[in-house]
Structure 1
Amino acid sequence: MSPGNLASNPRLLKEADALHSAGYDVTTVLSDFSESVRAFDDELVASAPWRVIRIARRRALNLRSAASALVARTMGERVPLSLACRAAGGAPVGAMIRAVRAIEADLYIAHYVAALPAAAKAARRHGALLGFDAEDFHSGEGTGRAGDDFRMRMVAAVERSTLPGCDYSTAASPSIGRAYAERYGITPTTILNVFPLAMAPQQPRPRERSPVRIKAYWFSQTIGLDRGLQAFVRAMALARCHVTLDLRGSNRWGHGDTLMRLAGDLGIADRVRLLPLASPGEMVRLAADYDLGLSLETDVSESRRLCLTNKIFIYLLAGIPMMLSDTPAQRALAVDLGRAAAVVPLAEPAAMASALDQLCGTEGALEEAMATAWRLGRERYNWEVEQRLLLAAVANAFEGASAGPAWRH
């Protein structure tokens, strides 16, 4: 279960597919949270071989969240689980609890903290097992903005009440897993945000030989200004080689326009394009048209420092190398990626420009980087390899069920 859209949660989609293929009877409960991806949700639901329950987003949800926060602030450390979750942000907590209550299952798996109250209550009600997938370090997502300290306290309250009782847990990076282990004493299995080989092209794209040109690519649900893109645009203007940049994602907040203005001020507006959202199933194919992918996470929060996003593994499966910002999680992964990744400091656009010039100015460098990415995507970083870890974690949870669900002890 997840408080977000199916199209916004590829981890849940892959998890449901893997469990269904392994013989489990799977039901997913999701929220119709974002209208911008509803059409993609419709496509996925129509083809899903497992049951899907969609919860409509209510217009008054943010008002209820604000009211919950006012009440929670008066209660000190004695905030009930569901109230703390509502106070942490605008998710349909109550609707999820009501929807899941009627579903009798042997295992309830929560994606994101907002799904934890529903999963935990249903597990207790039906005497079932409880699982949790941490795509981010959720109690470390605060950015210092007004209200963030309180929101993170509420998230931590939900985690503290539920995670030690989970029968198994998974995390999207080793760093996120270690952070949860240190805070709550759990031992998450790392399940990387990799993708099925069926999404990959059959063979590497023949690259047009142009030693002084690079086509760079970045994508996300929403174009933001806290994703290192300003630094890359500045590096483009400094580089000797001709670099173009395509940005794919919703421009609902106007951040894409801000980046276009920056490119115009630097005299390279003709080299930056904004592209619309596309179907999740097309992400690998679309990335394969480029020479370089970008994963330029910032240190805006502890969670961002610890994450390994799906971009990285989309690029590998597409057979294109990437430029990674120097966060602890990405720096550690880059050791294994070798030629397929260049780690750069976002605070130094000149150093980023130098890395671009080295990639396109050194004979054979880009070709070698692309070949390495292609190989890694097929040998190691794909869902066919990674899903074995998920299935083993679930099987181990059921094998240990004879002692009773962990929350009973």
Structure 2
Amino acid sequence: MKQAPAKITIVSQSHLCRNPRVLKEATALAAAGYNISIFTAVYSDELYREDLSLLAGTGISYEIYSDLRKRDWASFKARLSRKLWLIAQTWGIESRYILGYNAGNLKKRITASRADLYIMHQELATVTGGLMVDDYRVAFDLEDWYSEDLLPEARKNRPIKLLKQAEKTALEKGAACYTTSHAMANGLKAFYNSGRTSAVIYNSFNANNTTGEQQLQQDYLHLYWLSQTIGPGRGLEFFISCMAKSKVRCKLSLRGNIAEGYKNSLLAILAPKDSIEFLPMIKNSEIQADMGCYHIGLALEPDTPPNKDLTVSNKLFHYMAAGLPVIASYTRGQAEIAQQCPGLIFMYRQNHVDELVGILNELGAKIETGSLPALKTRMIEFYQANFSWPIQAEKLVNLIKNIFETAR
């Protein structure tokens, strides 16, 4: 009699269309023959419909453990509970209830139909998984270093001790633990003095073979920056000031949600030779093709806190997958990728004006000589051979396969 496929439950706390790593993981494991369910929290009808469209035809089950779309008694209780625990946090009382809605029901909900393996994503699921490891087979995808993220003011509302304990448990007791870069894996190992190093699954994407080069103008350097939220502290002010000091005419396209006041502050420091274009967010499924219409991607990440220094941002791999050479600030995570593809990622040290201005001038010269298209072709070919999602998906499938083989 043929054995039924192993059942894997993936637990997150955000809409699938806002967390592409969960979607990629789920579809890769479903394609490998596993029975996949995703449990998550939702708050928007529009985003929920987008979630379902992404899962169409995959056979993946999509379950909700916290639903804030309706203003009913259940959602009121969930919101009130979190607010009360946030107040308790100001008195030094930590709780997983701070990390998300309906936290107390999460473990019961996901274990009602027992899975052969649970894979935990994001803060609340990681903490919940830490409570389950003695009774269930639990793996952890540490997408970020949760206890070492955000600036000091924001960390006041975070249960840092609880997150640290959950991360340590994930490293030491998880059926598997994996993360987004070798820099992150080594940082976690050193911090927790663990004898175990997390596996690395880069958060990459499928390569886009259509670069959109025919749509590009060649009389200016067209720079592109993507983020769901555009605001202060992201390196844009510094970058625009360096654009002004460069010899090349620059057009900066910013895609994401931005407040009108901040938009005006950026325009106020713009040099007459340069321009800025503000673009709305688009669906994840449209991002790759759109990126092919620009010259250079921007990954202007800060090197603090430690999570920002050690991770590799989604946008870096998005740019590479679309064939965009990248201007990147120095972080240990981004340097890890840049060292593997010399001449394709142009890296400057944090706040070093001369280095960034020099990079802009160098790329401007490539526009004048017509050599940028060849650089974009090199990027897409190198990325496809070394970083694209099918390569990472194979590593993930082998990692999960090893969990089940070891358990026999």
* Aligned counterpart, 1:400: 406
Q: Write the deviation string for residues 159-203 of structure 1: whole angstroms up to 9, x where unpaired.
A: 234542101011011111112222342321100011124xx1346
How many Å separate the matches in 1 of 2:160 and 2:45?
26
Matches within 5 A, 1:2-401: 2-33=12-43, 37-54=47-64, 55-57=66-68, 58=75, 61=78, 63-71=80-88, 84-87=95-98, 89-121=99-131, 127-145=135-153, 147-148=155-156, 151-184=159-192, 185=194, 186-197=196-207, 200-202=208-210, 205-206=213-214, 208=216, 210=218, 212-251=219-258, 254=259, 257-268=261-272, 271-362=275-366, 363-401=369-407
What is the TM-score when the length of structure 2 is the normalising length? 0.86
Structure with the larger helix share: 1
In structure 1, runs of 5+ residues without a counterpart are 77-82, 403-409
| Alpha-carbon offset, residue 377 of structure 1 | 2.1
Determine the C-alpha separation between the residues in 1 that align with 2:266 and 2:120. 40
- The superposition leaves residues 352-409 of structure 1 with CA deviations (integer Å, 9 ceiling, x where unpaired) of 222111112143552343122111222111111111110111111111214xxxxxxx
**Counterparts of 2:330 and 2:211 in 1: how far apart (Å)?**
31
Moved more, 326-335 or 385-394: 326-335
CA distance in 2: counterparts of 1:374 and 1:207, whole angstroms: 17
* Deviation at residue 45 of structure 1 after TM alignment: 4.0
Q: Does the 8 A contact of 1:97 with 1:117 survive in 2?
A: no
- The aligned amino acid for 1:326 is Y
Cα separation, 2, equivalents of 1:19 and 1:322: 31
Distance in 1 (CA, whole Å) between partners of 2:243 and 2:47 is 31
Q: Secondary structure at the match of 1:399?
A: helix
| Offset at residue 290 of structure 1 (A) | 0.5
Distance 1:242 1:72 in 2: 50
Structure 2 residues without counterparts, runs of 5 or longer: 1-10, 69-74
SS at match of 1:272: strand
The amino acid of 2:84's aligned partner reads A
Matched letter for residue 56 of structure 1: D
Q: Is the 8 A contact 1:322 1:340 kept in 2?
A: yes
C-alpha distance in 1 between matches for 2:285 and 2:147: 30
Deviation at 1:218, TM superposition (A): 1.1
Q: Are 1:233 and 1:263, in contact at CA under 8 Å, matched by a contact in 2? A: no
State the TM-score, normalized to the length of structure 1.
0.85
- After the TM superposition, which of the residue ranges 91-100 and 129-138 deviates more from structure 2? 91-100
1:407 alignment partner in structure 2: none
CA distance in 2, matches of 1:249, 1:47: 30
Identity over the aligned pairs, expressed in percent?
Answer: 24
Amino acid at match of 1:343: M
Q: Which moved more, 1:108-117 or 1:30-39?
A: 30-39
